[in-house]
Amino acid sequence: MNKTKLFCSILGLGMLTIGSAQIKQDSVKVEKLDEVVLSDSRFALKRENSGKVITKITSQELEKLQGQSIAEIIGRTVGVEINGVRSNAGQNLSYFVRGGRNRQVLIMIDGVQVTDPSQIANDYDLRLLNADQVESIEILKGASSTLYGTGAASAVINIKLREASKKKVNINLRSTVGTNRSSEDKSYALEDFSNSISINGTVDKLSYLASFGLQSTDGLSAIENTTESDKFKSNNGNLKLSYKFNNEFKVKAYTSFDNYEADFDDSFGMMDADNVSTSNQYRIGLSPEYNYNNGTVILNAAYNNVEREIESDFPSTFNAQSIVVDAFNRYNFNDKFYTVVGVNYQKNTMESFSIPFGETDFSQSINPDNATFIITDPYVNVVYISDFGLNINAGMRLNNHSEYGSHLVYSINPSFKEKLDFGYIKGMVSYSTAFITPSLYQLFEPNFGNPNLDPEENDTFEIGAELHLENKATLSLVYFNRNEENFIDFVDTGGFVFQYQNIEESFNANGLEFVANVSAIKNLNLNTNVTYTVVNEDLGLRIPELKINARVDYQLCDKTTLGLSYQFNDDRNDIFFDNTTFENVTVNLEPFIITDFYVSHKVFRDKMTLFANVTNIFNEEYQELFGFETRGRGFNFGFNLKL
């Protein structure tokens, strides 16, 4: 079937579903609180007043996704493809949003930018994050550098960690055990174990939360058609304290560590190898907040240290530090005019060591005295909400970078909402620009680095509509068009000499994003999203043109929930290096469909939830990356206990 026709058919089906939802309204009206979003303005605004279509994954939804990693959960949302989540647990993750790459997706945790300055893409590794520690997730797509700075070119993933309970002492225990096998493996041995504990509460003005998690996975090789399994182990710890001095002033402080060790194979020879990658991250932060009249002053300050080691035929070690300080003032003028004025400071430093060819000892390859940059960005954002439906969100940021000077970005996002008897309909348009700072590796690596790199520049145009039927359904459709300039690529300058360089050619990605959330039938909820993406051939690596996700949740009774999810990934192009011809070869990966089942049941006065998953029910055999193994049919089960 023609893909465009298929998309239109799905869109038409969604329209009919929404239409029927309006007809089949339940006789008993259930009142729900208005959904609020934060990411597009830094104010808690009603969704109907937002000029963006923001994907929000609430704590209630996360409860229905127990047993999945954060990368898996995010990869099921509209417009997002996270490559590597269906493979060996230690597989590197690639984030593809609207034709972008890892360096164009900014990840934030509790309002603070998190990056790894030791990585080529300066990106944060979601394998470090424990899903049991997460309270909610907001995904804002499009160029968002005006509010969030470098890297916010195709998406901002804003992750909020769990907060302390209002009880004096609250204990949460979660344990999951499951299989980890390829589609050809006949064994269903238990090879995947995950455990976490959280102790939290509030005593007078002090709130506290301490959590710890462990994961251990074995049984699946990284390279397909090999025999040796590759293990993955991780552990996480998190401590948060908050003290409320009075109604005006409170202070939050936190410290955390996230570590993993992952076996990996020889991707050059495509064979088993005893290679190991370890990553250790330590974070500490402080966030005082002062409230006055209609305003709030917030300071988010964090220090992040990352240590990575690669044990292989080409061993190397990396160490990086980053300091992030984001100070801003929010002010609300009579619930009509909102302003954010702030300054964002970042300092990144890294060093690396490797063993030169023919030698046996490590020597420094990247010197931290050189591999350092500082960013200082003043920014302003304003939101206007009228009485007659017009809403405007606009902002501007001046990026000041120690290596390449100043760079201005801006955004304008008008929308219009029409209230209806049964909900609202909203139209929205936005144009926004963004920049991506070259990483320290791209700037200062002695063999490949280029200190003359300019930042990548992005501009994104969006137009869309959202229809909301109160307590029944929300339907949205967005068209996006994203352009890239100064694209940083790894260029062969001749004689197998490579260097990072800005490319003069501009690139384009455009497409459609459709979302339907329907609760037309009592106790039944349907979530569907469809992404259609067209990109330049040079940007199309591993990006499906058409991707469909659907999930049906059914509340069988007060204590039991059933869920069925479906995912279709279109064919994609991949590239591998042929070590006989010494050339890159392009291959086409076939489409695949994955269907999963979930069930949960509450026991012991709802204090314990038992859950189980069957993943890849039909044992689909497919490739996510050329030459690498993927998971076949799997089972996991566990419990979540609240005391």
The closest of 100, 224, 190, 21 to 630, measured between CA atoms, is 224
Phi, psi of 43, rounded to the nearest 5 degrees: -115, 150
Query: pLDDT at position 33, please?
Result: 53
Question: What is the H or E stretch that residue 597 is in?
Answer: strand 592-603
Rg (CA), the chain: 24
Identify whether the C-beta of residue 373 lies closer than 8 Å to the C-beta of residue 399.
no
Domain count, the chain: 1
Alpha-carbon torsion angle 261, 262, 263, 268, nearest 10: -130
The closest of 224, 265, 65 to 632, measured between CA atoms, is 224
3-class secondary structure, 607: coil
What secondary structure does DSSP assign to 248-297, as a single string? SEEEEEEEEEEEEEEEEEETTTTEEEEEEEEEEEEEEEEEEEEEETTEEE
- Angstrom CA distances, 199 to 159, 194, 241, stand at 20, 17, 12
Average pLDDT for residues 117-132, to the nearest whole number? 90
The three-point CA angle 432-438-443 to 5° equals 165
Average pLDDT for residues 568-595, to the nearest whole number? 88
- Angstrom CA distances, 96 to 345, 435, 518, 561, stand at 27, 17, 27, 32
Tokens linked to 177 = 């055990």
pLDDT in tens, 143-157: 999 999 999 999 999
pLDDT at 30 over 90: no
> What CATH number is associated with residue 519?
2.40.170.20
pLDDT band per the 50, 70, 90 thresholds, residue 7: very low
pLDDT in tens, 367-381: 999 999 999 999 999
15: CB partners within 8 A, 6+ apart: 475
Task: Report the percent of the chain where pLDDT is more than 70.
Answer: 95
Query: pLDDT at position 5, please?
Result: 41
Question: What is the H or E stretch that residue 205 is in?
Answer: none
Average pLDDT for residues 29-57, to the nearest whole number? 80
Query: pLDDT at position 606, please?
Result: 84
Average pLDDT for residues 444-472, to the nearest whole number? 93
Query: pLDDT at position 191, please?
Result: 95
Average pLDDT for residues 313-320, to the nearest whole number? 94
Q: Give residue for tokens 């948060």.
A: 240
Question: What is the H or E stretch that residue 430 is in?
Answer: strand 423-436
- Angstrom CA distances, 562 to 65, 68, 364, stand at 11, 16, 55
- Which of 377 and 505 is assigned the larger pLDDT? 377
Tokens linked to 14 = 């969604």
357: CB partners within 8 A, 6+ apart: none
Question: How far does Cα 152 stand from its chain's mean position?
Answer: 12
Average pLDDT for residues 25-47, to the nearest whole number? 68
Query: pLDDT at position 540, please?
Result: 78
Q: Pairing relation of β-strands 105-109 and 155-161? A: parallel
pLDDT in tens, 508-562: 999 999 999 999 889 999 999 999 999 987 777 899 999 999 999 999 999 999 9
CA distance 414 to 383: 10
Residue 33 carries which DSSP code? P
Beta-bridge partner residues of 80: 97
Identify whether the C-beta of residue 165 lies closer than 8 Å to the C-beta of residue 158.
no
Identify whether the C-beta of residue 88 lies closer than 8 Å to the C-beta of residue 220.
yes
Average confidence score pLDDT of the chain: 90
Query: pLDDT at position 9, please?
Result: 41
pLDDT at 83 over 80: yes
User: How long is the chain?
Assistant: 643
Residue by residue, what is the 3-state secondary structure of 107-139? EEECCEEECCCCCCCCCCCHHHCCHHHEEEEEE
CA distance 457 to 274: 40
- Angstrom CA distances, 445 to 350, 381, 501, 630, stand at 10, 36, 13, 33
CA distance 230 to 266: 12
Q: Give residue for tokens 């493996």.
A: 185
- Angstrom CA distances, 263 to 234, 294, 309, stand at 12, 53, 12
- Angstrom CA distances, 298 to 149, 249, 391, 486, stand at 17, 10, 25, 34
pLDDT at 187 over 50: yes
Query: pLDDT at position 227, please?
Result: 86
The closest of 253, 440, 450 to 347, measured between CA atoms, is 440
Residue 576 carries which DSSP code? E
Looking at this protein, which amino acid is placed at residue 105?
V
CA distance 181 to 90: 14
Residue 57 domain boundaries: 3-642
pLDDT in tens, 484-502: 999 999 888 887 788 999 9
Query: pLDDT at position 595, please?
Result: 97
Q: Give residue for tokens 């930042």.
A: 455
Beta-bridge partner residues of 434: 458
CA distance 438 to 450: 9
CA distance 526 to 145: 33
pLDDT in tens, 329-365: 999 998 899 999 999 999 999 999 999 877 889 999 9
